[in-house]
Structure 1
Amino acid sequence: MTRLIALATSGHIGLLGGAFLFQLAGYAPCAMCLWQRWPHAAAILLGVAALAGVAPRAMAALAGVAALITSGIGFFHAGVEQKWWDGPSSCTGGGDLSSLSAADLLSTEIADTIVMCDDIVWQLGLTMAGWNGVLSLALAGIWVLAATRRVTHG
């Protein structure tokens, strides 16, 4: 059980760390990218608590829920990127611009800082959001195993 918890926690550390490395490399995250990071952070904290002996089964189950949440957001985001469905109007190309002034619309500063959720900025077979969906779903499976594994004492 402890090894599974350590493996899943390490997986979330890797995915969250990878997201930050991409950001450091110049790939600014959109709003949905940022939403996907919070469940990873929660799973890491829950995993650390479980490894410290704080209700390991409950922490593993909650971390599994966090992994499913980020996986769901990742799959939804990948669908938005592929134009399979609409994303939130706050971060897709069809957003409401009525609150922006003419100067704001012409400003290159704002254009450089806005990252649209329906733009694909990196892809290796799948987009970053798609990879997050797949890998987080695998981590959710590991969390389920950790939460349901019987502890045997030799």
Structure 2
Amino acid sequence: MTREFCIVLAAGGSAALLLAAYAFQHIGGMAPCALCIWQRWPHGAAIVLGGLALVLGGRALAWLGALAALTTAGIGLYHTGVERGWWQGPSTCSGADIGSLSPEELFEQIMTAPLVRCDEVAWQMLGLSMASWNAVAALGLAVLWVLAATRTP
């Protein structure tokens, strides 16, 4: 595999995982928890890094892509531990900007907002949650990034 092909696969894999997450949210109606959203950011970074690496070349961007993939894998593994009760998750939850809301509007928003907990599995396949699958896939993407970083041009 060439360096460019590895980069396209790695960045494309992050794009596919990110699109799947948004599809679960917007088509499937599954609101993400805070940890789910944290896992999305490194995928976005990997997509941008992939585009830059294809245009600018260089090994440093591929190594940064590997770091982005390992970051989302780490968050996914942490999230898996929270879901399985191995350790505590964050004590905060995601919320909206409430500064401009009246007390009545704030109460209405609170009462109609979905409660999304990081310690509950919303979806699973073959015994693994979405966070677990993200971690597994991201580790595979990290391997592709490392291959891209170590390939000669």
Coarse TM-score class (shorter-chain normalised): 0.7 to 0.9
Secondary structure of the corresponding residue to residue 113 of structure 1? coil
Asked if structure 2 preserves the Cα contact closer than 8 Å seen for 1:30 and 1:117, the reply is yes
Q: TM-score, normalised by structure 2?
A: 0.84
Residue-pair matches, total: 136
- Please give the root-mean-square deviation of Cα atoms over the aligned residues, in Å: 1.6
| 1:89 equivalent in alignment to 2:91 | yes
Uncovered stretches (5+) of structure 2, i.e. residues with no partner: 94-105
Q: Report percent identity of matched pairs.
A: 53
Instruction: Work out the CA distance in 1 between the residues paired with 2:16 and 2:58.
Output: 21
What corresponds to 1:58 in structure 2? 60
Unaligned 5+ segments in structure 1 are 92-102
**Residue 90 (structure 1) shift:** 1.0
Normalising by the residue count of structure 1, what TM-score does the alignment of the two structures yield?
0.83
Q: Is the 8 A contact 1:49 1:56 kept in 2?
A: no
1:82 to partner: Cα distance: 0.8
Q: What's the offset of the Cα at 1:51? A: 1.1
Partner in structure 2 of residue 96 of structure 1: none
- Amino acid of the residue matched to residue 140 of structure 2? A
State the distance in 2 between where 1:133 and 1:7 align: 17
Contact 1:74 1:130 in 2 (8 A): yes
The within-5 A match list for 1:1-154 is: 1-24=3-26, 25-52=28-55, 54-91=56-93, 108-109=111-112, 112-124=113-125, 125-151=127-153
2:4 aligned partner, one-letter code: T
Q: Shift in Å at residue 20 of structure 1?
A: 0.3
